Structure 1
Amino acid sequence: MRREWEPEELIAAWTLLDSDWELVGNKTGVTRLGFGLLLKFFEQEGRFPRHAGEVPRAAVDYVAGQVKVDPALFSDYRWSGSTIEYHRAQVREALGFRESTRADEDVLAAWLADKICPMVLPTKGCGRRCWPAAGR
Protein backbone atom coordinates (compact mmCIF):
# COMPACT_ATOMS: atom_id res chain seq x y z
CA MET A 1 0.00 0.00 0.00
CA ARG A 2 1.45 3.32 -0.95
CA ARG A 3 2.08 5.95 1.71
CA GLU A 4 1.53 9.23 -0.19
CA TRP A 5 -1.90 10.25 -1.47
CA GLU A 6 -3.06 13.27 -3.43
CA PRO A 7 -6.34 14.67 -2.03
CA GLU A 8 -8.34 13.57 -5.09
CA GLU A 9 -6.93 10.04 -4.88
CA LEU A 10 -7.67 9.86 -1.17
CA ILE A 11 -11.27 10.87 -1.77
CA ALA A 12 -11.70 8.39 -4.64
CA ALA A 13 -10.19 5.43 -2.77
CA TRP A 14 -11.15 5.99 0.87
CA THR A 15 -14.60 7.58 0.81
CA LEU A 16 -17.24 5.42 2.46
CA LEU A 17 -20.12 4.92 0.01
CA ASP A 18 -23.79 4.27 0.77
CA SER A 19 -23.34 0.49 0.78
CA ASP A 20 -20.33 0.89 3.10
CA TRP A 21 -22.42 2.88 5.56
CA GLU A 22 -24.86 -0.01 5.86
CA LEU A 23 -21.96 -2.04 7.29
CA VAL A 24 -20.29 0.73 9.28
CA GLY A 25 -23.45 2.27 10.68
CA ASN A 26 -24.03 -0.18 13.51
CA LYS A 27 -20.50 0.17 14.91
CA THR A 28 -19.16 2.80 17.29
CA GLY A 29 -15.84 4.28 18.30
CA VAL A 30 -12.63 2.57 17.35
CA THR A 31 -14.48 -0.45 15.90
CA ARG A 32 -16.25 1.87 13.46
CA LEU A 33 -12.96 3.41 12.39
CA GLY A 34 -11.12 0.09 12.21
CA PHE A 35 -13.88 -1.56 10.21
CA GLY A 36 -14.07 1.31 7.73
CA LEU A 37 -10.32 1.15 7.18
CA LEU A 38 -10.33 -2.65 6.79
CA LEU A 39 -13.11 -2.38 4.21
CA LYS A 40 -11.45 0.29 2.09
CA PHE A 41 -8.00 -1.33 2.38
CA PHE A 42 -9.40 -4.69 1.23
CA GLU A 43 -11.16 -3.04 -1.73
CA GLN A 44 -7.82 -1.70 -2.94
CA GLU A 45 -5.37 -4.43 -2.01
CA GLY A 46 -7.49 -7.60 -2.11
CA ARG A 47 -6.21 -8.48 1.34
CA PHE A 48 -6.39 -7.20 4.88
CA PRO A 49 -3.63 -5.18 6.52
CA ARG A 50 -1.47 -7.24 8.86
CA HIS A 51 -1.06 -4.36 11.32
CA ALA A 52 -1.98 -0.70 11.78
CA GLY A 53 1.29 0.47 10.23
CA GLU A 54 0.19 -0.80 6.82
CA VAL A 55 -2.71 1.67 6.70
CA PRO A 56 -1.61 5.08 5.39
CA ARG A 57 -1.84 7.85 7.99
CA ALA A 58 -3.71 10.06 5.51
CA ALA A 59 -6.34 7.33 5.11
CA VAL A 60 -6.74 6.98 8.88
CA ASP A 61 -7.26 10.72 9.23
CA TYR A 62 -9.67 10.87 6.27
CA VAL A 63 -11.83 7.90 7.31
CA ALA A 64 -11.79 9.07 10.93
CA GLY A 65 -13.31 12.35 9.78
CA GLN A 66 -16.07 10.50 7.95
CA VAL A 67 -16.98 8.26 10.88
CA LYS A 68 -16.46 11.05 13.42
CA VAL A 69 -13.91 9.18 15.54
CA ASP A 70 -10.60 10.58 16.78
CA PRO A 71 -7.91 9.15 14.44
CA ALA A 72 -5.62 8.59 17.45
CA LEU A 73 -8.01 5.85 18.59
CA PHE A 74 -6.96 3.68 15.65
CA SER A 75 -3.99 2.58 17.76
CA ASP A 76 -6.53 0.92 20.10
CA TYR A 77 -8.04 -1.24 17.34
CA ARG A 78 -7.33 -4.88 18.18
CA TRP A 79 -5.50 -6.86 15.49
CA SER A 80 -6.39 -10.24 16.93
CA GLY A 81 -9.48 -11.74 18.49
CA SER A 82 -13.12 -12.17 17.70
CA THR A 83 -13.87 -8.56 16.72
CA ILE A 84 -11.39 -8.33 13.86
CA GLU A 85 -12.26 -11.86 12.72
CA TYR A 86 -15.93 -10.83 12.57
CA HIS A 87 -15.01 -7.62 10.72
CA ARG A 88 -12.98 -9.58 8.18
CA ALA A 89 -15.86 -11.98 7.65
CA GLN A 90 -18.27 -9.07 7.13
CA VAL A 91 -15.94 -7.44 4.59
CA ARG A 92 -15.43 -10.69 2.68
CA GLU A 93 -19.17 -11.34 2.55
CA ALA A 94 -20.00 -7.78 1.49
CA LEU A 95 -17.44 -7.91 -1.33
CA GLY A 96 -18.28 -11.45 -2.47
CA PHE A 97 -15.19 -13.26 -1.17
CA ARG A 98 -14.77 -16.30 1.04
CA GLU A 99 -11.87 -17.86 2.87
CA SER A 100 -10.07 -20.56 0.98
CA THR A 101 -10.23 -24.19 2.03
CA ARG A 102 -7.60 -26.91 1.80
CA ALA A 103 -9.45 -28.25 -1.27
CA ASP A 104 -9.22 -24.78 -2.89
CA GLU A 105 -5.48 -24.73 -2.20
CA ASP A 106 -5.00 -28.18 -3.72
CA VAL A 107 -6.92 -27.20 -6.87
CA LEU A 108 -4.94 -23.98 -7.18
CA ALA A 109 -1.61 -25.75 -6.68
CA ALA A 110 -2.48 -28.30 -9.38
CA TRP A 111 -3.56 -25.56 -11.79
CA LEU A 112 -0.40 -23.53 -11.14
CA ALA A 113 1.78 -26.59 -11.65
CA ASP A 114 0.05 -27.45 -14.91
CA LYS A 115 -0.60 -24.06 -16.49
CA ILE A 116 1.72 -21.47 -15.02
CA CYS A 117 5.01 -23.03 -14.06
CA PRO A 118 5.33 -26.54 -15.38
CA MET A 119 8.78 -27.95 -15.69
CA VAL A 120 9.99 -31.07 -17.41
CA LEU A 121 12.40 -33.20 -15.46
CA PRO A 122 15.63 -33.55 -17.41
CA THR A 123 16.29 -37.14 -16.25
CA LYS A 124 15.99 -39.82 -18.94
CA GLY A 125 13.31 -38.01 -20.92
CA CYS A 126 10.83 -38.30 -18.09
CA GLY A 127 8.46 -35.83 -19.73
CA ARG A 128 6.37 -35.44 -16.54
CA ARG A 129 5.39 -32.05 -15.26
CA CYS A 130 6.65 -31.62 -11.73
CA TRP A 131 7.06 -29.12 -8.95
CA PRO A 132 10.68 -28.55 -8.06
CA ALA A 133 11.58 -29.99 -4.66
CA ALA A 134 11.74 -27.47 -1.85
CA GLY A 135 15.20 -26.06 -1.32
CA ARG A 136 16.57 -27.09 -4.71
Structure 2
Amino acid sequence: MTGLHISREDLIGRWSLSYSDIEFVNGKPAPARLGLAVQLKFFAAHGFFVQDHASIPADSVSWLAEQLGVESGAMTEYDFSGRTARRHCAEILQYLGFRRLKRCDREELTLWIAGELCPTGQ
Protein backbone atom coordinates (compact mmCIF):
# COMPACT_ATOMS: atom_id res chain seq x y z
CA MET A 1 0.00 0.00 0.00
CA THR A 2 1.32 3.36 -0.93
CA GLY A 3 1.54 6.42 1.19
CA LEU A 4 -0.53 8.28 -1.40
CA HIS A 5 -3.36 10.23 0.10
CA ILE A 6 -6.63 10.79 -1.67
CA SER A 7 -9.25 13.39 -0.96
CA ARG A 8 -12.29 12.73 1.18
CA GLU A 9 -14.46 13.32 -1.90
CA ASP A 10 -12.58 10.60 -3.81
CA LEU A 11 -12.89 8.23 -0.88
CA ILE A 12 -16.61 8.74 -0.73
CA GLY A 13 -17.17 8.84 -4.49
CA ARG A 14 -14.86 6.06 -5.68
CA TRP A 15 -14.20 3.87 -2.67
CA SER A 16 -17.58 3.65 -0.94
CA LEU A 17 -19.30 0.28 -1.01
CA SER A 18 -22.97 0.10 -1.93
CA TYR A 19 -25.30 -2.26 -0.06
CA SER A 20 -25.06 -4.74 -2.94
CA ASP A 21 -21.24 -4.42 -2.93
CA ILE A 22 -21.18 -5.24 0.78
CA GLU A 23 -23.48 -8.22 0.24
CA PHE A 24 -21.23 -9.43 -2.60
CA VAL A 25 -18.05 -9.04 -0.52
CA ASN A 26 -19.53 -10.50 2.66
CA GLY A 27 -20.41 -13.66 0.74
CA LYS A 28 -16.70 -14.57 0.84
CA PRO A 29 -14.60 -15.95 3.70
CA ALA A 30 -13.56 -13.24 6.18
CA PRO A 31 -9.82 -13.23 5.33
CA ALA A 32 -10.53 -12.48 1.64
CA ARG A 33 -13.16 -9.76 2.04
CA LEU A 34 -10.90 -6.72 2.19
CA GLY A 35 -8.81 -7.87 -0.78
CA LEU A 36 -11.95 -8.52 -2.80
CA ALA A 37 -13.35 -5.10 -1.89
CA VAL A 38 -10.08 -3.43 -2.91
CA GLN A 39 -10.11 -5.27 -6.25
CA LEU A 40 -13.76 -4.33 -6.84
CA LYS A 41 -13.40 -0.63 -6.12
CA PHE A 42 -9.98 -0.30 -7.79
CA PHE A 43 -11.38 -1.86 -10.98
CA ALA A 44 -14.44 0.40 -10.87
CA ALA A 45 -12.22 3.47 -10.43
CA HIS A 46 -9.43 2.63 -12.88
CA GLY A 47 -10.75 0.04 -15.35
CA PHE A 48 -8.13 -2.60 -14.54
CA PHE A 49 -7.26 -4.86 -11.63
CA VAL A 50 -4.49 -3.94 -9.22
CA GLN A 51 -1.44 -6.21 -9.37
CA ASP A 52 0.20 -5.56 -6.01
CA HIS A 53 -0.13 -3.82 -2.67
CA ALA A 54 2.09 -0.92 -3.75
CA SER A 55 -0.53 0.44 -6.16
CA ILE A 56 -3.24 0.88 -3.55
CA PRO A 57 -3.60 4.15 -1.64
CA ALA A 58 -3.48 3.40 2.10
CA ASP A 59 -6.40 5.76 2.70
CA SER A 60 -8.66 3.71 0.45
CA VAL A 61 -7.77 0.46 2.22
CA SER A 62 -8.53 2.04 5.59
CA TRP A 63 -11.84 3.40 4.26
CA LEU A 64 -12.88 0.00 2.88
CA ALA A 65 -11.80 -1.78 6.06
CA GLU A 66 -13.90 0.63 8.11
CA GLN A 67 -16.95 -0.05 5.94
CA LEU A 68 -16.48 -3.81 6.29
CA GLY A 69 -15.65 -3.74 9.99
CA VAL A 70 -12.26 -5.39 9.53
CA GLU A 71 -8.69 -4.38 10.31
CA SER A 72 -6.84 -2.71 7.42
CA GLY A 73 -3.81 -4.88 8.26
CA ALA A 74 -5.73 -7.82 6.79
CA MET A 75 -4.75 -6.45 3.38
CA THR A 76 -1.19 -7.75 3.75
CA GLU A 77 -2.57 -11.30 3.69
CA TYR A 78 -4.11 -10.89 0.24
CA ASP A 79 -2.01 -12.29 -2.63
CA PHE A 80 -2.88 -10.27 -5.74
CA SER A 81 -1.16 -12.78 -8.01
CA GLY A 82 -2.66 -15.87 -6.42
CA ARG A 83 -5.40 -18.19 -7.59
CA THR A 84 -7.96 -16.68 -5.22
CA ALA A 85 -7.30 -13.17 -6.54
CA ARG A 86 -7.69 -14.35 -10.15
CA ARG A 87 -10.99 -16.01 -9.24
CA HIS A 88 -12.07 -12.81 -7.50
CA CYS A 89 -11.33 -10.82 -10.68
CA ALA A 90 -13.57 -13.15 -12.69
CA GLU A 91 -16.32 -12.91 -10.07
CA ILE A 92 -16.07 -9.11 -10.03
CA LEU A 93 -16.45 -8.95 -13.81
CA GLN A 94 -19.53 -11.15 -13.59
CA TYR A 95 -20.92 -9.12 -10.68
CA LEU A 96 -20.48 -5.89 -12.67
CA GLY A 97 -22.18 -7.38 -15.74
CA PHE A 98 -19.16 -7.88 -17.98
CA ARG A 99 -19.13 -10.84 -20.36
CA ARG A 100 -17.17 -12.08 -23.31
CA LEU A 101 -18.07 -10.68 -26.72
CA LYS A 102 -20.15 -12.98 -28.87
CA ARG A 103 -20.16 -12.98 -32.66
CA CYS A 104 -23.36 -10.93 -32.78
CA ASP A 105 -21.78 -8.39 -30.36
CA ARG A 106 -18.76 -8.02 -32.66
CA GLU A 107 -20.98 -7.55 -35.68
CA GLU A 108 -23.06 -4.94 -33.87
CA LEU A 109 -19.89 -3.14 -32.74
CA THR A 110 -18.51 -3.19 -36.30
CA LEU A 111 -21.70 -1.64 -37.64
CA TRP A 112 -21.68 1.01 -34.91
CA ILE A 113 -18.03 1.90 -35.62
CA ALA A 114 -18.70 2.10 -39.35
CA GLY A 115 -21.81 4.24 -38.89
CA GLU A 116 -20.77 6.50 -36.03
CA LEU A 117 -16.99 6.76 -36.04
CA CYS A 118 -16.20 6.23 -39.73
CA PRO A 119 -19.33 7.28 -41.62
CA THR A 120 -17.33 8.17 -44.74
CA GLY A 121 -15.74 4.72 -44.87
CA GLN A 122 -12.23 5.77 -43.92
What range is the shorter-chain TM-score in? 0.7 to 0.9
Q: Could you state the TM-score of these two structures normalised by the residue count of structure 1?
A: 0.67
Structure number having the greater helix percentage: 2
Aligned partner of 1:97 in structure 2 is: 98
1:34, distance to aligned residue in structure 2 (A): 0.3
> Counterparts of 1:67-82 in structure 2 under 5 Å?
67-82=68-83
Q: RMSD over aligned Cα, in angstroms? A: 2.5
> Counterparts of 1:12-23 in structure 2 under 5 Å?
12-23=13-24
Higher relative contact order (CA 8 A, sep 6+): 2
Aligned partner of 2:28 in structure 1 is: 27
1:24, distance to aligned residue in structure 2 (A): 0.6
1:11, distance to aligned residue in structure 2 (A): 1.1
Q: Could you state the TM-score of these two structures normalised by the residue count of structure 2?
A: 0.74
Task: Flag structure 2 segments of 5+ consecutive residues without an equivalent.
Answer: 107-112, 118-122
> Counterparts of 1:1-136 in structure 2 under 5 Å?
3-98=4-99
Task: Flag structure 1 segments of 5+ consecutive residues without an equivalent.
Answer: 105-110, 116-136
Q: Which has the larger radius of gyration?
A: 1
Q: Deviations over 1:25-74 (max 9, x none)?
A: 21243300000010000001110001111111000010011111111121
